[in-house]
Amino acid sequence: MPHRPRLPLAILAAVVVFAISATVSTETLFGQDAVPAVDSPATDTPAAAPAAEETPNAVQPTAEPAAEPAAEPAAEPAADDPDADDVMNDLDSLDPPSDPPPSELAPELPEQPISPEQEALFAEFEAKRKIWEQTLKEMKTIQIMHSNGVDKSAKSMDRFYELRDRARGELNDLFKAAEAFFMERQDEYNTVSLLATVIDYRRSSSYYDDSFNVAKRLIEVGVNMPFLEQIAGRSAFVEGKFDEVLPIYQRYVDSNGPEKLEDVDKMIVGLLNFYPPWWEEELKARAADEAAGDLPRVRLETTSGPVVLELFEDQAPNTVANFIQLVESGFYDESEFYQVVDDLLALGGDPTGDGSGTSGRFLPDEHDRPDRRRIFRGSIFMAKRQTAPDSGKMVPNSASSQFAIALMPIVPKELEQTVFGRVVEGMDVVCSFRRVDPTKKKEQQVILPPDRIISAKVLRKRDHEYSVEYAR
């Protein structure tokens, strides 16, 4: 069987973590806070938000429980870029997880002869690994030159961001190649360890897409890591494999006790009774959207990479018109995702960055239309003002410019916010945004800058004028 020298997991994890950290650009890995309690309304109003009645505070919805290149000559340094320094500081502060006992990682399987088909799958895995490693080497070269002050130019940082986006795609391709080989052979250490490390990172960043099959198979072959049940249950839910969810959580509870279930897992269990029909309804709506092929799309260039949004003009025409107008006017450029909470949402669109900002105009609600969309993972919905702190009730017609991207489905007691689109590309980018949770601030904690929208651009829209009707 083709075989490379076995890498200790800590070494492999260091490579994977460097790459993932580079691709997310600003997030310090393996040091995030736990998910917020789902029992209490996640409607935190930033302390800096003014109390003036005429300036609505943006609020969150209630979550209901239930090849190394040769160095070029040093370029002329550009003005210091805080985002660039932020990226490099994060890379320098990596602390890979400790190496678990081999018995936890790889099951005891006898060496088996390799078939030609398996050999081809392994060769593909190795080829993709080399491509990915080559990209990492160039990123590391840029990082070293930046950290040493040799080249802090805009050109080098543009190259770094280009490589970051490429590395993210290459890691996803490598993950799929490792998965394909692993489904045929479970006795090759490097594929098993890479899959387990990436799965663990995905869990820590609320990224559950395309992870269920790997997590489930790792469990089945005896890989003994508790986080596998967590991501398997969450991924099964996100991917619509609802019959798989409860057996996985039951296994987790049997092994670890019910007190170890996190709030997001309890929420998922509570949603199972009524969520599946909503998901079927959403899938039909998405199929209709794809068949039409003409819904407006907007590209957000963020400090962690590109994100493409598709806008539900048919169900929220006025809200979509407002969003398009703001994008085309440059309103969202340089605005921050000032609140990002694990397994809940990323909140942005505030020109002040503290939760108090608006565009100066307010929109009639469209959440009560008969064809309105619900809040699923990746949905985009308008933020509104609460009637009172922690009330969970919204002031009618108070949406303006602030919007949220849901990291998990959000099911309020009553849908009071307009869902006007969803992420169609770059959900992994959204999941990588630096967590900013006002309820988790600690004394003497270093506050790092939030991710932000560098620029927003309309990629596609229908051939008509997008006029907006305002509430007041």
- DSSP codes, 189-234: HHHHHHHHHHHHHHHHTT--TT-HHHHHHHHHTT---THHHHHHHH
Weakest-pLDDT range from 51-60, 228-237, 300-309: 51-60
pLDDT at 13 over 70: no
Do 209 and 215 touch, CB atoms closer than 8 A? no
218 pLDDT higher than 50: yes
Among the residue ranges 110-114, 182-186, 191-195, 388-392, the one predicted with the least confidence is: 110-114
pLDDT (tens digit, 9 = 90+) per residue, 105-158? 444 444 678 899 999 999 999 999 999 999 999 999 999 999 999 999 999 999
Domain regions of the chain by residue span: 9-31+67-272, 282-460
CA torsion, points 67, 72, 78, 80, in degrees to nearest 10?
40
Q: For residue 228, give the nearest of 370, 139, 107 by alpha carbon.
A: 107
Q: Which of 20-29, 192-201, 353-362, 369-378 has the lowest mean pLDDT?
A: 20-29
- Please, which pLDDT band fits residue 36 given cuts at 50, 70 and 90? very low
Distance between CA atoms of residues 397 and 415, nearest Å: 13
pLDDT of residue 100: 46
pTM, whole model, 2 decimals? 0.78
Average pLDDT in the chain:
80
Q: What percent of the chain has pLDDT over 70?
A: 75
- How many angstroms separate the Cα of 175 from the Cα of each of 107, 119, 464? 19, 17, 43
Instruction: Please count the other Cβ atoms lying within 10 Å of the Cβ belonging to residue 63.
Output: 30
How does residue 332 score in pLDDT terms, banded at 50, 70 and 90?
A: very high
Specify the residue for token string 């897992």.
265
Q: How many residues does the chain have?
A: 472
- Kindly report which listed range (375-379, 391-395, 407-411, 430-434) carries the lowest average pLDDT score: 391-395
On the question of pLDDT at 24 being above 70, the answer is no
CA distances from 364 to 32, 314, 350, 391, 443 (A): 37, 16, 19, 21, 41
| Residues 29, 202 contacting (CB under 8 angstroms) | no
Question: Bridge-partner residues for 339, per DSSP?
Answer: 347
Between CA 272 and CA 20, with CA 30 as vertex, the angle to 5 degrees is 90
Grade residue 27 by pLDDT with cuts at 50, 70 and 90: very low
How many helices and strands (H and E) does the chain possess? 13, 8
For residue 85, what pLDDT is reported? Answer: 56
Tell me, what's the pLDDT at 442? 64
Q: Which H or E run includes 382?
A: strand 379-382
Average pLDDT over residues 405-415: 86
Q: Which residue has the higher pLDDT, 63 or 212?
A: 212
The CATH superfamily label for domain 282-460 reads Cyclophilin-like (2.40.100.10)
pLDDT in tens, 75-99: 444 445 555 555 444 443 333 334 4
What pLDDT was estimated at residue 391?
Answer: 75
> What strands, in cross-sheet order, belong to the sheet with 345-348?
339-341, 345-348, 403-406, 379-382, 419-425, 305-311, 297-302, 453-460
Segment 428-442 shows an average pLDDT of: 85
pLDDT confidence of residue 370: 93
248-281, pLDDT tens digit by residue?
A: 999 999 999 999 999 999 999 999 989 999 999 9
Q: How far is residue 187's CA from residue 107's CA, in Å, rounded to a whole number?
A: 7
Mean of pLDDT values over 38-63: 33
Q: What pLDDT, on the 0 to 100 scale, is given for residue 189?
A: 84
Most confident of 24-38, 213-227, 296-310: 296-310
What DSSP assignment string belongs to 409-439?
A: ----SS--S-EEEEEEE-HHHHHTSPPB-GG
> Identity (one letter) of the amino acid at 287?
A
| Bridge partners for 336 per DSSP | 350, 452
| 201 pLDDT more than 50 | yes
pLDDT at 4: 35
Q: What is the pLDDT of residue 453?
A: 97
